[in-house]
């Protein structure tokens, strides 16, 4: 199936990797629903996208709000009757990040507060599951449904536990654990849906210059969206239940 005419919902698409993913997917002819918790910011982003020739519409979607999730599903059902692509892109990193000379956050696992853990998991894990479950009936109506969960290389238990790995000293506990839990959701949902036309994958965008990634990040936005776009447009014979960066598998 060509990507032209597909319908995609991208959460947290008002800025950063989400907005750039919207631009690149939109350029392929995909209709973009710009999820944003602040509708005004979503409308501004949709306006920019339309200016670039993308068919874009803003949707008010605070992913932690059940009312917003339900309203988004209703709107998509009424306007399109199906959803082809869901990109769970919205995310937060709330860990204290007292920098050291190497630029890595200081490991503060032993003092990570219950609030930071709770709030991080609420957005990065519980909301993703709730939104995906709400939208699954619409994704099942697609001839080739694709679910992309924006994870992080910091979620890799293998690399976190291996001295000398590129992320061994990057220990933001709440964030890393929430994305590891998200990866578990990817594996479990992909298994349940393995005999359907829906593919579910986790992606690591790279360390990208955004508000979250910071100015010191080595990757530009334009490259940071490539993994999400690839996973959103996978052909029917592509894998499901994997963890990828730029087409390469990452260790769980």
* Active-site amino acid positions: 175, 179
- How far apart are the C-alpha atoms of 192 and 105, rounded to whole Å? 37
How many alpha carbons fall within 13 Å on the CB side of residue 127? 27
Site for ligand NAP in 113-142 (CB under 6 A): 123
Interface residue with ligand NAP among 3, 15, 55, 167 (CB under 6 A) is 15
Q: Which of the ranges 13-21, 95-103, 165-173, 242-250 carries the binding residues for ligand NAP, by CB under 6 A?
A: 13-21
- How far apart are the C-alpha atoms of 68 and 167, rounded to whole Å? 35
Q: Which of the ranges 102-110, 163-171, 188-196, 210-218 carries the binding residues for ligand NAP, by CB under 6 A?
A: 210-218
Q: Is 147 in the site for ligand NAP (CB under 6 A)?
A: no
Task: Indicate if the alpha-carbon torsion angle 65, 66, 67, 69 is positive or negative.
Answer: positive
Task: Between 154 and 189, name the residue whose CB sits nearer to ligand NAP.
Answer: 154
- Encode burial over 212-247: b for 16+ CB neighbours within 10 A, e otherwise: bbeeeeebebeebbbbbbbbbbbeeeeebbbbbbee
Task: Between 145 and 205, name the residue whose CB sits nearer to ligand NAP.
Answer: 205
Find residue 8's DSSP bridge partners: 32, 85
Q: Which of the ranges 9-17, 73-81, 133-141, 243-251 carries the binding residues for ligand NAP, by CB under 6 A?
A: 9-17
Q: Whole-number minimum distance, CB 173 to ligand NAP, in Å?
A: 14
Structure tokens, 133: 């479950």
Q: Is 14 in the site for ligand NAP (CB under 6 A)?
A: yes
Interface residue with ligand NAP among 5, 38, 79, 192 (CB under 6 A) is 38
Interface residue with ligand NAP among 183, 202, 210, 240 (CB under 6 A) is 210
Site for ligand NAP in 88-117 (CB under 6 A): 89-92
Q: Is 18 in the site for ligand NAP (CB under 6 A)?
A: yes
List Cβ neighbours of 12 (8 Å cut-off, separation of 6 or more): 18, 35, 36, 37, 63, 89, 90, 91
DSSP assigned state of 246? T
Interface residue with ligand NAP among 195, 211, 236, 237 (CB under 6 A) is 211
Tracing tokens 């696992």 back to the chain, one arrives at 109
Task: Between 144 and 217, name the residue whose CB sits nearer to ligand NAP.
Answer: 217
CB atoms within 10 A of CB 91: 26
Interface residue list for ligand NAP (CB under 6 A): 11-12, 14-18, 37-38, 41, 61-64, 89-92, 123, 150, 152, 204-205, 207-208, 210-213, 217
């Amino acid at each position: 199936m060509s990507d032209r005419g597909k319908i995609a919902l991208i959460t947290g698409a008002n800025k950063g990797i989400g907005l750039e993913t919207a631009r690149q997917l939109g350029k392929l002819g995909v209709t973009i629903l710009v999820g944003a918790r602040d509708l005004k910011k979503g409308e501004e982003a949709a306006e920019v996208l339309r200016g670039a020739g993308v068919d874009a519409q803003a949707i008010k979607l605070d992913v932690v709000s059940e009312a917003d999730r339900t309203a988004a599903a209703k709107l998509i059902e009424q306007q399109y009757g199906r959803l082809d692509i869901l990109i769970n892109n919205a995310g937060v990193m709330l860990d204290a990040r007292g920098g050291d000379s190497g630029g890595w956050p200081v490991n503060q696992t032993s003092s990570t507060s219950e609030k930071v853990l709770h709030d991080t998991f609420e957005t990065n894990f519980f909301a993703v599951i709730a939104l995906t479950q709400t939208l699954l009936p619409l994704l099942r109506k697609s001839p080739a449904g694709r679910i992309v969960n924006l994870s992080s290389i910091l979620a890799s238990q293998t690399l976190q536990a291996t001295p000398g790995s590129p992320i061994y000293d990057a220990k933001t506990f709440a964030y890393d654990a929430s994305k590891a839990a998200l990866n578990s959701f990817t594996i479990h949902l992909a298994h349940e849906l393995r005999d359907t036309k829906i593919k579910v994958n986790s992606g690591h965008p790279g360390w990208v210059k955004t508000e979250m990634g910071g100015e010191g990040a080595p990757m530009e936005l334009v490259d940071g969206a490539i993994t999400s776009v690839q996973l959103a447009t996978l052909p029917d014979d592509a894998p499901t239940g994997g963890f990828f960066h730029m087409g390469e598998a990452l260790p769980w």
